[in-house]
Structure 1
């Protein structure tokens, strides 16, 4: 039974928090970049310190015990109190310091909307002592890292809508259907491209963007493969063997060089909402509060 809290206990509790949110030792091992056996050893050590079993685990099975649920809730309150302590010290000193870990969806730097870069610029002026740590990834990876407290927030396209997150709408991103100049469709006028022709052409799905509830595919596409990364999509389209959706701002350099062209843009155009995501919590760090103020949230 823990009588006094040590640094090692806090580290073990943070590990337990990640395991509980992941609901899997295997998934948590990937997030923590350690082996499952190492997690098992540390989990057993924490349970010895607590004096009670915190979770039932086995092959493909994970469930918190009642004691585990109470420890999880108490650990969340502890982490919030620690964050509050740091914030109070910063406010007493009159300066904002520390690190700000923000996630950005891959290949979004060419966005026409300047809101993200303007927010970063403004934030660094009002909080020059804060070190911004950007992480680039696909949407599911960003969601997972925000939930597991590896990122304070993330900006991108998110379809999963986890109940553990707050979704603040920012702006729309337009996507069009593209083919390359080595595709059989490239030289065919839009009015001659019909459903049957599109159905015969292999289609590469952009995993997360194909699952948005507000988007209904205009055609019955011949899905042959998929990728969560825009760069993977464009490689396959440029091969001439596939058609697929790309953000217009990202495709523009290839369009200018006549290497890509949009297909039936009036019909295939779709707009997907960019959101800023952050954890639902009773405590929002001072750094996070300042960043939210610098970026224009749609209301």
Structure 2
């Protein structure tokens, strides 16, 4: 079993990371510039070092084990941190090249996703030899990712008390939404304010893990959360069953659920508004590259 990470282990982990990212040995060959027998030997050696089976390979194709999934996620964090360390080190020498890790909250509005792509393109055009690692995380992971040093910037909403360890750059974009149900639900007829006879606590609702303002908007009538989803997309799927109420962004409903019978209910009493930010940890060095990226994000996010 591995007790201490050595330089040779880092090389083996990079091979595994490429194989897992490419979902197979053959697909990883051009990425690693290695032949399949050498890749297979490296994975076998890593499994021996870790005393774990990381993946199955055979007629059924490539498949990671549960242990392999954990190692893959931890490896991703390690290499993100390495890339960020090298990028920050270069910045101290006024060398603005390398990889920027940008983490996006899942369920971003299309307008903001487009702003991200334009800001990334603008940054890569302005600075030579800059590359972006763009990843998506669930809302309840955002604070940890921003603080851990795994990334340079996070684009997300944030509805909790803002910690002093994070820096928030407003993007001038908000996620507006309402309380939704399926047209088969008993409350579907109440597109305006609920009458006094309606007790929201009598109806099952689905909440979003970690996003308190998407679970409780109206203090007078709190939703009865019977189950939780990890994103707005999975919340939408639960609402479509007709068994749950749920707070959903209007943009998500309009872009993904047209004709599927979703109805906004409860009027403006259950309207929510989440502001989006570019977020970085206070220890992140905001060099000219990152500053430019944040300015461009702000600019393009506010364009019609």
Same fold (TM over 0.5): yes
Q: Is the 8 A contact 2:84 2:150 kept in 1?
A: no
Map 1:201-240 onto structure 2 (within 5 A).
Answer: 201-211=203-213, 216-217=218-219, 219-240=221-242
What is the CA distance between 1:155 and its match in structure 2? 0.7
Whether 2:163 is the aligned partner of 1:162: answer yes
Counterpart Cα distance in 2 of 1:207 and 1:195: 30
Compute the TM-score of the two structures, normalised by the length of structure 1: 0.63
Q: Structure 1 residue runs of 4+, over 6 Å off?
A: 29-32, 79-82
* CA 163–293 in structure 1, closer or farther in 2 if over 3 Å, else same: same
Counterpart Cα distance in 1 of 2:253 and 2:156: 17
What is the CA distance between 1:187 and its match in structure 2? 3.7
Q: Note the residue ranges of structure 1 that are not aligned, 5 or more in a row.
A: 1-6, 12-28, 35-78
| Aligned CA-pair RMSD | 3.5
Compute the TM-score of the two structures, normalised by the length of structure 2: 0.62
Q: Note the residue ranges of structure 2 that are not aligned, 5 or more in a row.
A: 1-5, 11-69, 76-82
Correspondence for 2:285: 283
* CA 82–253 in structure 1, closer or farther in 2 if over 3 Å, else same: closer
What is the CA distance between 1:270 and its match in structure 2? 1.4
Counterpart Cα distance in 2 of 1:135 and 1:125: 21
Counterpart Cα distance in 2 of 1:131 and 1:293: 18
Q: Is the 8 A contact 1:157 1:209 kept in 2?
A: no
| Helix, strand or coil at the partner of 1:296 | helix
* CA 196–172 in structure 1, closer or farther in 2 if over 3 Å, else same: same
Whether 2:107 is the aligned partner of 1:107: answer yes
What is the CA distance between 1:83 and its match in structure 2? 5.2
| Helix, strand or coil at the partner of 1:196 | coil
Give CA-to-partner distance per residue, 1:79-115, whole Å, 9 cap, x none.
9996554125554xxxx42111001011215247853
Q: Is the 8 A contact 1:90 1:97 kept in 2?
A: no
Q: Which moved more, 1:158-167 or 1:236-245?
A: 158-167
Counterpart Cα distance in 1 of 2:220 and 2:169: 28
* CA 103–112 in structure 1, closer or farther in 2 if over 3 Å, else same: closer
Map 1:73-222 onto structure 2 (within 5 A).
Answer: 85-89=89-93, 91=95, 96-111=96-111, 114-127=114-127, 129-160=129-160, 161-170=162-171, 171-188=173-190, 190=192, 193-194=195-196, 196-211=198-213, 216-217=218-219, 219-222=221-224
Correspondence for 1:263: 265
Q: Is the 8 A contact 2:179 2:271 kept in 1?
A: yes
Counterpart Cα distance in 2 of 1:84 and 1:258: 48
| Helix, strand or coil at the partner of 2:140 | helix
Aligned residues: 225
What is the CA distance between 1:237 and its match in structure 2? 0.3
